[in-house]
Structures are given as structure tokens and as C-alpha cells.
Amino acid sequence: MKQSFLKPRRKTRRINVGTAAVGGTAPISIQTMTKTDTRDVTATVKQIHELEMLGCDIVRLAVPDAEAGAALVRIRRSVKVPLIADIHFDHRLALKALDAGFDGLRINPGNIGGAARIREIARAAEGRKIAIRVGVNSGSVEKDLLRKHGGPVPEALVESALRNVRLLEDCGWREIKISVKASDVARTVTAYRLLSRKTSCPLHLGVTEAGTFLYGTVSSSAAMAILLAEGIGDTIRISLTDTPHQEVRAGLALLRSLGLRPQGANVISCPTCGRTKIDIVKLATDIETGLEEYYQSRPGASRPLVAVMGCVVNGPGEARHADVAICGGNGRAALYVGGKLVKTVTEKDVVAAVLKAVSRRKP
């Protein structure tokens, strides 16, 4: 029997964000945030559809002003994936999101306008199955708590979150999840550990302002891997100074590496060197992306090992051991299936040839 180094998931209250279950025994969900102008309905809907195809479970949208709030109805009607409205400063935008049929709200206690505004949001949401996330970031903790704790330390983040959770619960609200994000691994891990001992609400994990693709992915994964291994966390977002597509891919890779998501596209590729005469970086990326999209629409399809190799040093050997493989040459590549050379294709036809070969494999 395969052993896991993961501790059992802590028991949390199960809530729903539209069709996505969060907490309890539900699978850990992946979230991201659109990076289009929400007022541009066409661009925003297009991006949401792309993210859904990649495997994103929940999508959050910024609602910075009334014009963006007015666009929410059309966006909601155009997509099926659960949507969350990200609200800061103006609680009236949360009310617009509720009227638009959004599945959840993210409010920031440090800038939403105080207890009265939070109560007003809870009253407006009464009778609807709306999830509300109390999202505390190290850069927006209430001033009195900063004075009390001497800065945005983990204890301040947790006290801020629980203070505002109590406000919602006093209004009879139970569909709550919480996040306490800092911009570094140490504070983030400490804050979530502390919070997990004080509440049964589901927790949304993340490192805020994590950085560009490389550093942001590494620091986010470092923090979340520790917490997930300890059984802490019900949803995740890897926040990057990059596209939301990269956030979703990084989140999927993290959960798969921990055995918390089924494996996706099974692609290995060479690191390339001075011998390479074909664009292996682009080909490997395009093949992986194409396979992810293929599996999203065909979850039961065969997932063979695909090797993307750049030259004759390791290429033929890896090709014989992989189910489907390409071995690059000068603008061309040899295609192997089942360890046997099938044909040679031009560089522009490589991705289509690999996807076709994969589609012919039986589960």
C-alpha cells in the first residue's frame, strides 16, 4: 500500500462556492483571479473560459468601481464556473455582486468600512447561498491591531480575521472561509498554523505579493506545501506577477506533486543545450498545454508518458521508453509511438502529431 507523508486533513466546516464544495472532505480547489479590466466583458469572459479549460475551480474578479459592478451581470450570464467578487473600500460593490448572482465575495476587513458595513453585506446576502471570505493581508490590517501587536505579525493577521468572522457569525452567517496572507513564507505559515487551531472555517491558502513567476511560484509552493502536508488548507491560489493561466498551472502542479490532484499531462522533456536545433522549450510547453486542454474535455482519456527530446544524445533512448515521443533534429523531429519510429515531421507539425498520437492510445 502506498504511504503518504501528508497528515490527515483537519476537519473544517463545509461550504459551497456555487457548484464548488469547499472544506470538509471536498477536494482542495484551485483559484485564480482575472487580470483583465472587469469592465471589458468580452475580454474577461474569454479569460474565464480559458482558465476553466485549464482546470481552475473558482475565479475571482476585481470590482474597483461602479462601472465594473455593472458589468458583473453580463459576465455571470456568460460563464458557468463559480465566480467571486473581490471587494475593497466600497461595500456597495458587494451588493452589486450579490444582485448579479455571484457565488462568493471576498472582503478585506482593513478597508471595507468597519463593522457596520460588514453587517450590511451579511444582511443583504441573507437567504442566498453566498460564500464570504474574510481575506486579511499583511498590508491591510486594522490600525488598532497594528499598534497592539507592533506590526503585521501573524498574531495580528489572525486576530483581525477572527474579529470579522465573529461579526458575520453574529449576523447568523455561516458560509465563511478565511485567509491570512503575508508576503513571506515564515509569517504565512505561522499565521495559518495559528488560525487553524482557532477556527473550523475552511481556509484559503496563499502568499500575498509573492512576486514574478519563478520566485512567486517557489515561495508560494514552499509555504503551501508545508501547510498542506500538515493537513491545513481547503483552497489555494498561487498569486503571481504573471498571467492567471500560469497561476492555475502552478497550482495544479503543486497539488499533483503532493498527490492531492490526479496526474495531468505526463510530459518529460530535456533541458536543452548547445546541440539543440529545434525549439524544445516552446514545443514542450505547447504539448503540455494542448494535453491539459484535451484532458479537461476527456477526463477518462489515456495519459501516456510523452517525451520531448532535443537531440540524438538521450533522445532515441528516451523515445524507446516513452509511450509517445519526439526526438528533435534541425527543424524536424522523429515521432516515436510505443518505442518505434513512426515518421518524421516538420517542427510546425510536431504538436499536432503528438496530440493525435496520444488521442489514439487506449486507456
In a domain, 10, yes or no: no
Closest CA relative to residue 324, chosen from 348, 350, 298: 350
What CATH number did the domain enclosing 336 receive? 3.30.413.10
36 domain-assigned: yes
Report the chain's mean pLDDT, rounded to a whole number: 91
Mean pLDDT of 224-238: 97
- Range with the lowest mean pLDDT among 22-26, 64-68, 108-112, 193-197? 108-112
Cα dist. 147→144, 152, 174 in Å?
Answer: 5, 9, 30
Q: How many domains does the chain have?
A: 2
Q: In the predicted model, is pLDDT for residue 346 greater than 70? A: yes
Domain match, 208 and 284 both = no
Last residue of a domain, one of 238, 257, 276: 257
Grid cell digits, residue 313: 544524445
Condensed to tens digits (0 to 9), the pLDDT of residues 283-339 reads 999 998 888 888 878 877 888 889 999 877 767 777 778 899 999 888 889 999 998
pLDDT for res 1: 37
pLDDT tens profile 249-275: 999 999 988 989 877 678 888 888 888
The residue out of 257, 285, 313 marking a domain boundary is 257
Q: How confident is the model at residue 3 (pLDDT cuts 50, 70, 90)?
A: low
Residue 199 phi, psi (nearest 5): -150, 155
Please state the pTM of the whole predicted model.
Answer: 0.84
Residue 207 shares a structural domain with residue 273: no
Q: Are residues 248 and 275 in the same domain?
A: no
Residue 1 within a domain? no
200 CB neighbour count, 10 Å cutoff: 11
Domain boundary among 198, 223, 257: 257
DSSP state letter for 274: T
* pLDDT score for 363: 67
The answer as to whether 103 is a domain residue is yes
117 and 174 belong to one structural domain:
yes
- Is 57 a domain residue? yes
Whether residue 6 lies inside any domain: the answer is no
Residue 2: inside a domain, yes or no?
Answer: no
Q: What is the pLDDT of residue 212?
A: 93
User: Which whole number is the average pLDDT over 151-180?
Assistant: 93
Residue 114 CB partners (closer than 8 Å, separation 6+): none
What contacts 51, CB < 8 A, 6 or more positions away? 32, 34, 59, 81, 244, 245, 248
Confidence of residue 206 (pLDDT cuts 50, 70, 90): very high
- In a domain? residue 9: no
Task: State mean pLDDT over 90-113.
Answer: 88
- Is 146's pLDDT higher than 70? yes
Closest listed residue to residue 285, CA positions, set 269, 301, 300? 269
Q: What is the pLDDT of residues 24-78, one digit of tens each?
A: 999 999 999 999 999 999 999 999 999 998 889 999 999 999 999 999 999 999 9
The whole domain housing 313 covers: 267-359
Question: Any bridge partners for residue 269, and if so which?
Answer: 308
Angstrom distance (rounded) from CA 268 to CA 257:
14
